[in-house]
Structure 1
Amino acid sequence: MFKRRNTINTLAALAALFATTASVAVLGSAHAADLGATPAPVFKAPAPVEEFNPWMIRVRVLAVMPEDGGSVNGVPGSDLSYSDSVVPELDITYFFTKNWAAELILGVTPHDIDGAGSLSGLGKIGEVWLLPPTLTLQYHFTDFGAFKPYVGAGINYTFFFDQQADAADSLDVKDTWGWALQVGFDYMLDEHWGINVDLKKLFLQPDFDVTVAGTALTGTADLNPWILGVGVTYKF
């Protein structure tokens, strides 16, 4: 009987000790939480990198305005004048970086050639179509938000075709190289679409052969046109 009582007392003491230990552990955990235990770090995926697309195209309306000037060899006081022209044009731009790009313009333009100076009595000498592909290297400024100005310089090779003589018996304007300067801007309406204004100066002075009243002559046409374009930009 005495042994049974001792056993019961021992079990009760062990139970009390276990309960006390559990209570201390719970209170310790709560106290640690109150002290602001550091939570486990949460993994955050990096922001996606925006893909850079180098291609841009523009569709513009061009006003091609040649300077009047030129001469026929051996004819004192000879001069020439040329008509202006308004034509559509497509250009393709490739960006090597966000600042540096190359632009190629494609379009054709018709012009009349008139006598001036001592040749003014001839009136319209003839007419000719020009295909003046022009390649420029551009620098684009990127610090003005939606307004993106640029400058450029490059080369031009002009093809003359569909040439027709009027007062002259025959006319042959020679294909030629020239230099080009450029300034312009794009105003971007959103990520892809924008408005473009562009001004180019071509230094273009082709030689020509002309026959007037059976006399074969040569000369130089000082075209040197200004080219003003307004159009729509699309950035891929």
Structure 2
Amino acid sequence: MKTTAIFAAGLLAAAVAGPALAQDFTPKEKGTWLVTARVSDVAPSESGDIYTAAGVNTNLDVEVSDYVVPTLGFTYFFTDNIAVEGILGTSKHEVSAKGPGGTTRVHDTWVVPPVVTVQYHFNPKGRVSPYVGAGVNAMIFYNGEDKNGFKVDLDNGFGYALQAGVDIAVKGDWSINLDAKKVFFETDANINNGALKSNVELDPWVISAGVTRRF
């Protein structure tokens, strides 16, 4: 629902901007900077069985909540078509253990997940300019808060990301941006000083809509 709402908001903004599309706009080109303010839904596609220290499956799975957060993107064009983007933001997630008897919240954590992608932009001189990208990401967990008597440690690390999006020029230096990233990342979760453990594939989708200024 959150993802649908974000894209709907972006499409509505594009529709509202329709009358302005007859105006001049600044195209993408070599040497251009883009600064994009987005609203992003960070939605983990998590999977991870929880095992005892002896390797016995507890029949519990890891569950991680979504979070909607403001993010910033900074893009520089090395050619008219090829650019590099860095994305910054921070999100908070609830970590739970889910089993046949229900779901127990075990940990809350903030995470900084910077992503850097190399992009190829199609139709950079056009009003509607889609792009694709691929790159790397880091996951840095901080300000963790244990819940319900559990102690949880999550390992920081690196992963990779795929990206697709579109810029819709509105007027002058301004455009609307819709963007989707699939981040591939896994972490080791150490629970209660090693009594329980899990290798968790987080693999979040980051679905965004925002406004871009070209410089």
TM value normalised by structure 1: 0.73
Give % identity.
38
2:39 corresponds in structure 1 to 61
Structure 2 Cα separation of the partners of residues 194 and 54 of structure 1 = 14
State the structure with more CA Rg: 1
* Preserved contact between residue 168 and residue 210 of structure 1 (Cα < 8 Å): no
Aligned partner letter, 1:115: A
Alignment of structure 1 residues 16-165 onto 2, 5 Å: 53-74=31-52, 75-117=57-99, 121=102, 123-142=104-123, 145-165=126-146
Alignment of structure 1 residues 151-230 onto 2, 5 Å: 151-211=132-192, 216-230=195-209
Q: Which deviates the most, 135-144 or 60-69?
A: 135-144
Give the secondary-structure state (helix, strand or coil) at the position aligned to 1:172: strand
2:10 corresponds in structure 1 to none
TM value normalised by structure 2: 0.80
Report the CA distance shift for 1:178/1:168 in structure 2 as closer, same or farther (over 3 A): farther
1:24 corresponds in structure 2 to none
Per-residue deviation, residues 160-179 of structure 1 (Å, max 9, x unmatched): 01111112431111101111
Identify unmatched segments of 5+ residues in structure 1. 1-50
Structure 1 Cα separation of the partners of residues 41 and 128 of structure 2 = 23
Structure 2 Cα separation of the partners of residues 143 and 201 of structure 1 = 23
Please point out which of 182, 198, 211 is paired with 1:232. 211
Structure 1 runs of 4+ with >6 Å offset:
none
Aligned partner letter, 1:57: V
Identify unmatched segments of 5+ residues in structure 2. 1-28
Structure 2 Cα separation of the partners of residues 224 and 87 of structure 1 = 17
Please state how far the C-alpha of 1:122 moved relative to its aligned partner: 5.6
* Preserved contact between residue 183 and residue 198 of structure 1 (Cα < 8 Å): yes
* Preserved contact between residue 46 and residue 204 of structure 2 (Cα < 8 Å): no
1:19 corresponds in structure 2 to none
Please state how far the C-alpha of 1:143 moved relative to its aligned partner: 6.3
Report the CA distance shift for 1:101/1:110 in structure 2 as closer, same or farther (over 3 A): same
Structure 2 Cα separation of the partners of residues 223 and 215 of structure 1 = 20
- Which one has a larger percent strand, Structure 1 or Structure 2? 2
Structure scoring higher RCO (CA < 8 A, sep ≥ 6) equals 2
Q: CA RMSD in A?
A: 1.9
Aligned partner letter, 1:145: G
Please state how far the C-alpha of 1:216 moved relative to its aligned partner: 2.7
